[in-house]
Amino acid sequence: MDSVSTSTSVVISGVSRGLGAALARRFAALGHPVAGCGRDREALDRLRADLGEGHLITVTDVTDADAVERWAGETVRRLGAPALVVANAGYISPQAPVWETSPADFRTTVDVNVVGVYTLARAFLPRMATGGTFVAVSSGWGRNPRGRLAAYTASKFAVEGFTRAIAQEAEELLPGVTAVAVDPGGGVDTAMLATCLPDEHTEYPGPEAWAQVAADYLLHQVPKEPNGASLTVPGP
C-alpha cells in the first residue's frame, strides 16, 4: 500500500455512460485526477475530450483480471495512489422469471457485477493511498431481493458479502483503507434502469444530479467505522 495520504486521484470503472460517466465528470470538475475505464471506445473518446488533460480514460474490460492489473499499474504511475476507487461497472438484463433468463445473461451479470468488483479489489487495494476508500457499487436489490431480477439480485448480494470480507482483510493487512458497499439510492434514471424498469425510470433523477451529491459523499462522508458497512447515497 502506498503511503500517500494526500492523494486526490479517483478511480472509477464503467465510465462509458450513466453513473460512472457522471461521477467522472463531477470529480474532474472538482479538480480530482480521474482514472476511468469502460468498453465503449466512442463513448470513452467523448468523455476523454470532455475531461481534458490530466486524466486517464482507457478501454479496459473489468472481467479481464490481467487487463485491470495493467490499468491499475498505469494509473498509479501517472496519477499516484488513488484516494478513492469506485467499482461501478454493472450489467442488468430485462425483467424475467429465472427460467426465462438465458445462461448467457446470467453469466454476464455475474461476470460484470461480481468478477468486476473482484478484479478492481485485487488490483487496486494494495495500491491505495493510506486512508483511501474502496467503494463497491451495490443496490437496494442487493439487500432486498427483487423477483424477475434474480441474476442481478444474486450478483448484488454477492457484492455485499464480498465487500464485508475484503474489509476484514483491509483491517488486518491494509491499515487505514476502508471498503464499503454503497447503494446509489432510491433510483437514478440511467440506461441500465430503463432496461429493467422501462415504464418507471424517468420518474427518477438523472445521473448528473445524482453525481452532484454522490461525489462529495463518496470522497468525504463515507464513515471509516465500521469497515465493510452497507451504505446508501443520500438523495439529490
If one compares 3 and 101, the residue with the highest pLDDT of the two is 101
Q: Where are the alpha helices (DSSP H) in 125-225?
A: 150-173, 191-196, 207-216
Among all residues, which ones are annotated catalytic? 152
Give the CA-trace dihedral at 155, 207, 89, 233, to 10 degrees: -50
Contact 59, 41 (CB under 8 A): yes
Structure confidence at residue 4 (pLDDT): 35
**Whole-number Å distance between alpha carbons of 68 and 74:** 10
pLDDT tens, residue by residue, 143-197: 999 999 999 999 999 999 999 999 999 999 999 999 999 999 877 766 666 666 6
Contact 57, 40 (CB under 8 A): no
| Domain assignment present for 227 | no
| Domain assignment present for 144 | yes
- What is the domain count for the chain? 1
Q: Which amino acid is at 104?
A: A
Q: Over 50: is that where the pLDDT of 109 sits?
A: yes
| Domain assignment present for 89 | yes
Q: What is the CATH classification number for the domain harbouring 203? A: 3.40.50.720
pLDDT tens, residue by residue, 69-97: 999 999 999 999 999 999 999 999 989 99
* Its pTM surpasses 0.85: yes
Q: Where are the alpha helices (DSSP H) in the chain?
A: 18-29, 41-51, 65-79, 103-110, 116-124, 150-173, 191-196, 207-216
| Domain assignment present for 122 | yes
Measuring CA to CA, which residue among 103, 128, 13 is closest to residue 63?
13
Q: Which domain holds residue 166?
A: 10-221
Measuring CA to CA, which residue among 52, 152, 144 is closest to residue 101?
152
What's the mean per-residue pLDDT of the chain?
A: 93
| Domain assignment present for 236 | no
Q: Helix, strand, or coil here: 107?
A: helix
